[in-house]
Structure 1
Amino acid sequence: MDIEQLRQYCLKKPAVTETFPFDADTLVFKVLGKMFALFPLEKWEAGEGWVNLKCDPEYALELRAEYESIQPGWHMNKANWNSVLIYKGELQTKFVLELIDHSYDMVVKAMPKKLRNELL
């Protein structure tokens, strides 16, 4: 799977925008202004693509125990974010897309009801 495939998947979700709030290398996807996916473009260009995704803390621990390619979120809150190492080839595309869905849903779930209603 490549970054363009993942980018298009993220952009198809309701109220998603892409931005570079930190630097020209970190592509960030937000839903109504809240981050749910971060892609370090320099790593993708070097063949070491990965993505940071928000995750339920208990589920994050389960995933890290089961998959070598899922680690605590690099430069993120380790309890709530995972770094998903795509380049290792361990994870199936369908599963990575499910992790993106989970991240998006976690962010939406934490929003005030008024913002969640804007998505409907």
Structure 2
Amino acid sequence: MTENIRNYLLSKPFTEMQYPFGVGIEVYKVKGKMFATLSLGKMGKGGDGRKAYWWMNLKCDPDEAVMLCDIFPSVIPGYHMNKRLWNTVILDGSIPQGEIERMIDNSFNLVVSKMSQKDQQSIRVYE
């Protein structure tokens, strides 16, 4: 599942993966602006005691962020992020792949929408 998510993140136009926060925390950026992170949950968090799950931070509209946390137990306010603007998705298999991709799309589009018109146009050509 994690490999599918990595591939989906990297399929977005002008997306690069970097490690600015150190090894183990993948940061996905579009034209230098972060729209997702992916890392293993910390000890004691994000797992069932036997297995650690991957955690993905995604930018989110504040109203939708609250709604997603209410709908999905594995969506929590952004871990180590602005909790109003970011959600953490614990990839434990409880959220359908299509919904995860929709959340990724929303995060990507929110970040792109804050860019200059020129950058937005260069990205939208590939969608």
Q: Does TM, normalized by the shorter one, top 0.5?
A: yes
Equivalences for residues 1-120 of structure 1 within 5 A: 2-41=1-40, 46-87=51-92, 89-119=93-123, 120=125
AA in 1 matched with 2:107: S
Whichever residue aligns with residue 93 of structure 1, its letter is Q
Greater fraction helix: 1
Calculate percent identity across the aligned residue pairs: 38
Mapped to 2, the partners of 1:62 and 1:110 lie a distance apart of 23
Query: Is the Cα contact below 8 Å between 1:52 and 1:84 reproduced in 2?
Result: yes
Give the superposition deviation at 1:118: 2.1
TM-score for the superposition, normalised by structure 1: 0.90
With normalisation by structure 2, the TM-score equals 0.85
| Conserved? CA contact 1:48–1:86, under 8 Å | yes
Instruction: Summarize the Cα distance change of 1:14–1:108 in structure 2 as closer, same or farther, 3 Å threshold.
Output: same
Shift of 1:47: 3.2
Q: The residue matched to 2:84 in structure 1 has which SS?
A: coil
In our comparison, the structure showing a higher alpha carbon Rg is: 2
Could you tell me which runs of 5 or more consecutive residues in structure 1 were left unpaired when the two chains were aligned. none
Residue type at the aligned position of 1:9: Y
CA distance in 1, matches of 2:63, 2:41: 30
Aligned length: 117
Structure 2: any 5+ residue segments left out of the alignment?
none
